[in-house]
Amino acid sequence: MNAADPIIRINRINKYFGQFKALDNVSLDVELGEKVVVLGPSGSGKSTLLRAINRLETISSGSIVVDGHDLYAPGENINTIRMELGMVFQSFNLFKHKTVLENLTLAPIKLKKMDKGKVEELAFSLLDKVGIRDRADHYPVQLSGGQQQRVAIARALAMEPKIMLFDEPTSALDPEMIGEVLDVMVTLAREGMTMVVVTHEMGFAREVADQVVFMDDGAIVEMARPDMFFDNPRHSRTKLFLEQIL
Amino acid sequence: MSEQEKIIDIGDGAAIPDPRDKGLFSAWRIALIGTISLLVILPLAKPDPYAKILRFVPDGIWVTFEVTIASISLALIIGLLTGLGRISKNRYINLAASLYVEVVRGIPLLVQLFYIYFALGRIVRVPDIVAAVIAMSFCYGAYMGEVFRAGIKSIDFGQTEASLSLGFNRRQTMAYVILPQAWRTILPPVGNEFIALLKDTSLVSILAVADILRRGREYASESFNYFETYTMIALIYLLITLVLSKLISNMEHRLSHYERR
């Protein structure tokens, strides 16, 4: 792979759920270190697009290349590719039977065969970063939603991925907890992480995004830098969406 | 009651006592005290035949335990494989597992016992107790398979997705994430199956396996003390199942530690 190549190259992908076209000829490049925020009304295909990047959704046609690996090429191991792709879910999905610390250390110990002491060191530094070190020995059920989501971010980071995918990370949170999760994401962005974020948080998009992608009916309608996107949307559907949401 | 507990319906084993029931007069406590009292008082009050029965039957208790432990161990393995087979995306594995469950569930255990005992006897000569264990585990493996399937299905799919997204394959996801959580849901019905199996081992007494019931029948047919013998046998079974159901409910309570706030 060439240094100038995008780290994610999505090329004309289509996805059908039965007759329903969830993704309609979508192409998108994400450069290393770039932050792409995907916006759109519900049912527009933005989550499907995000989940296609680590093949939690399989696509019907087209190609996705992540860090030089074609997700659908025979001989490519999807599990190895997924180790480069951290993912944060709307509903946190922390492992309920593991403590906070164990949630972070499970995958690095089992998959990277890393030494337990080293992993725990890494885990504690990540828990520091998301401000939740004092809860290391708690179980997920004992944490608030915001805390759980911060742990989920730390869990994904513990695999030291090159890219982070966020699937509406604040949509299941009470309003007063949204800030603490967004703060962590902003910090991560400042540190140079490559991020693809599906969200409804316009403030976050404006502050962090290098590119804002607007989707509707499974297709990318508009793609622009945030200042252009929010102040001078070109497409009528984008304008309508922004009027409704702002 | 949580969503998980609703999915698995309690089988026909002994009632699992509620671990939070601290009342002195819980049904479990009354039954236990009553059983122990009778087991002590009857032989003291009337040594012949009750004390004699108590000396004659214990050999059978060990046989009953042997058959139960061996059968439940095998049934758990068969059940896990069957449960995984029933949720497999491979249609042939799925079909094979489903067929096994359908067939076994449709034939009475007693008929299966006879069938396996005599069918097996035509092919290989195995000790009676081995034939009994094979038959019991073959039957209970199918029930266990349904318990495992329901337990695995009760785990939120988000857990699987989170595990896959970290780079675990499906097998690792099952081993590290799904089964450890499913075990918590599976334990109460497995405990029930365990107790039900223990009681059903009384059926193997017809296969010349010298379990509790068989020993009792032997004693009764020699002494003609049918009433006294079967009274003691019933009390012995009851004592065993009462103790086991308590152990299981305590274990279940301990396993649920991560669900307590």
Q: What is the pLDDT of residues B199-222, one digit of tens each?
A: 999 998 888 888 889 898 999 899
CB nearest to A97's CB, from B172, B180, B260: B180
| CB atoms near residue B1 (< 10 Å) | 5
Question: Strands A194-198, A211-216: parallel, antiparallel or unpaired by DSSP?
Answer: unpaired
pTM of the model: 0.83
Residue B185: band (very low, low, confident or very high) from pLDDT cuts 50, 70, 90: confident
The pLDDT assigned to A142 comes to 95
Return the structure tokens found at B82.
Answer: 């069957």
CB nearest to A79's CB, from B156, B169, B260: B169
Give me the residue spans of the domains in chain B. 26-56+211-252, 64-208
CB nearest to B165's CB, from A54, A98, A106: A54
Is the Cβ pair A95, B161 closer than 8 Å? no
C-alpha distance from residue B235 to each of B42, B46, B137 (Å): 11, 16, 26
Contact A242, A233 (CB under 8 A): yes
Q: Does A87 touch chain B (CB under 8 A)?
A: yes
What does the alpha-carbon distance between residue B107 and residue B119 come to, in Å, rounded to a whole number? 15
Residue B118: band (very low, low, confident or very high) from pLDDT cuts 50, 70, 90: confident
Residue A32: strand, helix, or coil: coil
Return the structure tokens found at B251.
Answer: 């274990």
What does the alpha-carbon distance between residue B39 and residue B232 come to, in Å, rounded to a whole number? 7
Edge-to-edge strand ranges of the sheet holding A69-70 = A20-30, A8-17, A61-66, A69-70
Determine the CATH number of domain B64-208.
1.10.3720.10
In angstroms, the separation between the Cα of residue A233 and the nearest Cα of chain B is 34
Residue B133: band (very low, low, confident or very high) from pLDDT cuts 50, 70, 90: very high
Q: Does A240 touch chain B (CB under 8 A)?
A: no
Residue A25: band (very low, low, confident or very high) from pLDDT cuts 50, 70, 90: very high
The pLDDT assigned to B12 comes to 45
In angstroms, the separation between the Cα of residue B175 and the nearest Cα of chain A is 11
Is the Cβ pair A91, B164 closer than 8 Å? no
**Average pLDDT of the segment spanning A181-209:** 96
Choose the weakest-confidence range: A129-143, A207-221, B18-32. Answer: B18-32
**Average pLDDT of the segment spanning B113-142:** 89
Q: Does A113 touch chain B (CB under 8 A)?
A: no
